Amino acid sequence: MKIFAIELRKEKRTSVIPLMLAIGILGAAYAFVNFIVRKDTLLNLPLAPMDVLLTQLYGMVMVLNMFGIIVAACIIYNIEFKGSAIKKMYMLPMSVPVMYFCKFLILTIMLLVVIAFQNLALTKIGLTDLPQGAFEFGTLLCFAGYSFITSMPVLSFMIFVSSRFENMWVPLGIGVAGFLSGMALAASNNTFLCIHPFVVMLKPAVAMSAQPDIIVVIFSLVETAIFLFAGLWSAKNLHYE
Amino acid sequence: MDYIITTEQLTKKYKSFVAVNNVSLNIRKGSIYGFLGPNGAGKSTTMKMLLGLTAPTKGSFTIDGKQFPNDRLSILKEVGSFIESPSFYANLTGKENLDIIRRILGLPKSSVADALEIVGLSEFGGRLAKKYSLGMKQRLGLAGALLGRPPILILDEPTNGLDPSGIHEIRNLIKSLPDLYDCTVLISSHMLSEIELMVDDIGILNHGRLLFEGSLDELRQNALQSGFAADNLEDMFLSMVDKDNASRKQRVKL
């Protein structure tokens, strides 16, 4: 808890927290505006109203979330490298892997807030703009959880990459390359491609149904854990010299 | 003799390059120990090993009777350090930077003002660290090392980037530390004239090997016996290092 509070203090003037809040608000605003402008077109699609609400708006919202995660992960570790502050952390009586885990936790909590904002907007749209009785809160909660779980591999991967490179442009470039390659591969039905964390995050956006895909969920959980443990291991064993 | 830091055959190899070669140091409790050597001699690497920043390839060391990695946390609680260049969060003020360290060390709030006062940064505590001049960053790094008045200080070239009056001020400060709060200081510097005015004992390192360890008087006697100039530390140091370099060249030729 002490290290978590210290990590939060370090974020002062870094824009990590305002950035993630802005992503949440922007995603919510996009969903509102998009549904208002394209309401008739969207509701005339040959899909169930809840599938329309959840899958047809998620593409752009997911791209926003992805870029938010990439940039926030880069910033959260760049502050450690900018003035060689991480070197001091290794020379103090504290656990650097715990520090890594707290950064992971901060971004995870911020992602939850982002998704909560966006789903509040979807709830409002569902209650006011979907046909009477079509809105299902349980389906929305389930999809919100699905989008959170599928976003976690990118978050876990990006923190790991950011913690390994002093030059912020490297993880940023890896993030953009991950996004572009993910976009190219996401529509494929090849399950093996789910080892690519960005493909996993894009999966709910290219699906036509709001029902979670259990294979994608399993891939997400495994990848999140692998990248998290890789990050914790490197923080413990690969010292900053 | 009551030694607070001892190293036993400490060695660090990077592939085929030996940065530190079987170095055995003995640092007396309450003394100021000057660690001298040309660039690349292995001073910083030795200090990094003492702080757990890099693992020794061979050998061991004890700090106040404790050993890495088992006693890492309790060793680091006792050691204030400043290695190579100041480390700070550029997005935070000087005060906020020290507050982060204070929280990690579990010290009272007053320790931040105390450390800022010691290094003469009190009036600039509210300024962002990225806007500090090089000398101010150096002072901030020193304040981070002095925070909580630790019993052991490991300082790697702490006067780099300071102006002459700053160097004088920091030298006087370091000189006063053992009497102020019974602290042991291991300091490296290229400024031999400064070191001469400050230290009790000296260790001279060249190409990773410890050429000499002892007091200034012992160094003087050693220099006289070897036929070197013994007027000042700089002459003795240069003669010793030159002789070692010449014998290394000789060995390479053979």
A92 to B91: CB separation less than 8 angstroms, yes or no: no
A90 to B52: CB separation less than 8 angstroms, yes or no: yes
Is the pLDDT confidence value at A86 over 80? yes
Mean pLDDT computed over B30-53: 91
* pLDDT tens readout for residues B44-86: 999 999 998 888 999 999 999 998 878 888 999 999 999 888 8
Which helix (H) or strand (E) segment is B80 a member of?
strand B79-82
Q: Quick one: closest CA in A to B90, which residue?
A: A83
Q: Where are the beta strands (DSSP E) in B170-220?
A: 184-188, 201-206, 209-215
> What are residue B7's DSSP bridge partners?
B61
**Local confidence band at B154 (pLDDT 50, 70, 90 cut-offs):** very high
State chain B's mean pLDDT as an integer: 89
**Local confidence band at A129 (pLDDT 50, 70, 90 cut-offs):** confident
In whole angstroms, give the CA distance from residue B83 to residue A124.
56
Q: What phi and psi, each to the nearest 5 degrees, are found at residue A233?
A: -65, -45
In whole angstroms, give the CA distance from residue B137 to residue B135.
5
A97 touches chain B (CB under 8 A): no
B83 to A87: CB separation less than 8 angstroms, yes or no: yes
* pLDDT tens readout for residues A88-106: 999 999 999 999 999 999 9
- What pLDDT was estimated at residue B176? 85
In whole angstroms, give the CA distance from residue B212 to residue A62.
64
Reference B36, options B52, B25, B22, B49; nearest CA is B25
A155 touches chain B (CB under 8 A): no
* pLDDT tens readout for residues A31-44: 999 988 988 888 88
B52 to A82: CB separation less than 8 angstroms, yes or no: no
Which helix (H) or strand (E) segment is A156 a member of?
helix A137-164
- What pLDDT was estimated at residue B254? 64
In whole angstroms, give the CA distance from residue A55 to residue A51.
6
Of B81, B85, B90, the CB nearest to A91: B81
Residue A20: CB atoms within 10 A of its CB come to 24
- What pLDDT was estimated at residue B186? 95
The DSSP 8-state label assigned to residue B81 in this structure reads: E
DSSP track, B207-227: TTEEEEEEEHHHHHHHHHHTT
Say whether the ipTM exceeds 0.95: no
